[in-house]
Amino acid sequence: MTQAVNGTPAVSLSGARLSYGDRVLWDGLDLDVQPGEFIAVLGPNGSGKTSLMRVLLGQQKLSAGTVRIGGAAPGKGNRRIGYIPQQRALDPTIAVRGRDLVGLGYDGHRWGLGIGGMRERRQRVATALEAVGATHYADRPVGLLSGGEQQRLRVAQALVGDPSVLLCDEPLLSLDLAHQRAVSGLIDAHRRESGSAVLFVTHEINPVLPLVDRVLYLVDGRFRIGPPERVMTSETLSELYGTDIAVVRVRGQIHIVGTHSDLCEDGAHHTEELVER
């Protein structure tokens, strides 16, 4: 993990609370994320993971506490946030080409590019497309691409602007194993080379387990923060879920064993780690 040059965390939440009406998603959340740090954000459906991303993007106000991105309030000033949103299939009638979609990620914080700037932009977009294996479909309309192909473009779009904070909301969904590895490798390389802090929402920790510095695990208003070996234990997860949960490690992978209703809000399926008893 890269240490902050001037000691300013890439992301800082202090006494953070988010509630919608009577429903408290999380409260008293203190979290400083250092440049280059990789945080996995875990928790069942509805525990507030995407809402946390929205707070960091400046799209959702905290109910209490403070949030800082690189020392400043989130929002318009923080142009170097890369965001890979939770996947939704794009409208099939969208005629924009993949190459143009990725270009928007480069333009986000640059205005009035001269000729040299345009050349640089073209090159950076081409490199990002190549890195996610999207070059061969970059000139097709994005609406006609498969879910996995669209997802790889979103990853390229988030990385092309060289973000200092990378927010990823289930970026591996609908990717095959080879592309899951390629995408997590790209995110890892980016944070190592440019010191970008990564907050990575996922229901399945195993594909990124070797990259994870700390886990933020949210359950029904409660949370735990710490390295995977401290948070992903039977004791901690049983406390968090308020019921008997067993965490089993098999060949370096983590499996959570509990009943379906123990692990899911409203009985909804939430995790591929789930092993029914």
Ligand X SMILES: Nc1ncnc2c1ncn2[C@@H]1O[C@H](COP(=O)(O)OP(=O)(O)OP(=O)(O)O)[C@@H](O)[C@H]1O
Q: CB of 60: closest distance to ligand X in angstroms?
A: 7
Closest approach of ligand X to the CB of residue 271, in Å: 9
Binding of residue 25 to ligand X (CB under 6 A): yes
Q: Considering the rule CB under 6 A, would residue 46 count as an interface residue with ligand X?
A: yes
In the complex, what is the shortest distance from the CB of residue 249 to ligand X, in angstroms, rounded to a whole number?
Answer: 24
CB of 25 to ligand X, least distance (A): 6
Candidates 8, 60, 15, 7; CA nearest to 167 is 60
Site string (5-24) toward ligand X, x via CB under 6 A: ---------------x----
Token pair 């480069």: residue? 106
* 180, 172 contact by CB (below 8 A): yes
* Footprint on residues 58-97 left by ligand X (CB under 6 A): none
> Judged by CB, which is closer to ligand X: 99, or 224?
224
- Min dist CB 111 to ligand X, Å, is 31
45 vs 146, beta carbon nearer ligand X: 45
What are 217's two structure tokens? Answer: 């695990």
47 binds ligand X (CB under 6 A): yes
Residue 44, CA distances (Å) to 72, 113, 186 in order: 30, 44, 26
The stretch among 45-53, 68-76, 90-98, 172-180 that binds ligand X (CB under 6 A) is 45-53
Choose, by CB under 6 A, the member of 14, 51, 135, 174 that binds ligand X. 51
Give the count of residues interacting with ligand X (CB under 6 A).
Answer: 10
**Residue 152: half-sphere exposure toward Cβ, Cα within 13 Å:** 27
Task: Please report how close the Cβ of residue 203 comes to ligand X at its closest, in angstroms.
Answer: 7
Own/partner long-range contacts of 128-131 (Cβ < 8 Å, ≥24 apart): 128/102, 128/156, 128/157, 128/159, 128/160, 129/98, 129/99, 129/102, 129/153, 129/156, 131/156, 131/159, 131/186
Interatomic CA distance for residues 152 and 142, integer angstroms: 11
User: Exposed/middle/buried for 184, CB within 10 Å: 0-12, 13-18, 19+?
Assistant: buried
Strand duo 38-42 + 214-219: pairing: parallel
Query: Using the rule CB under 6 A, which residue among 3, 45, 253, 259 binds ligand X?
Result: 45
Binding interface with ligand X (CB under 6 A): 20, 25, 43, 45-51
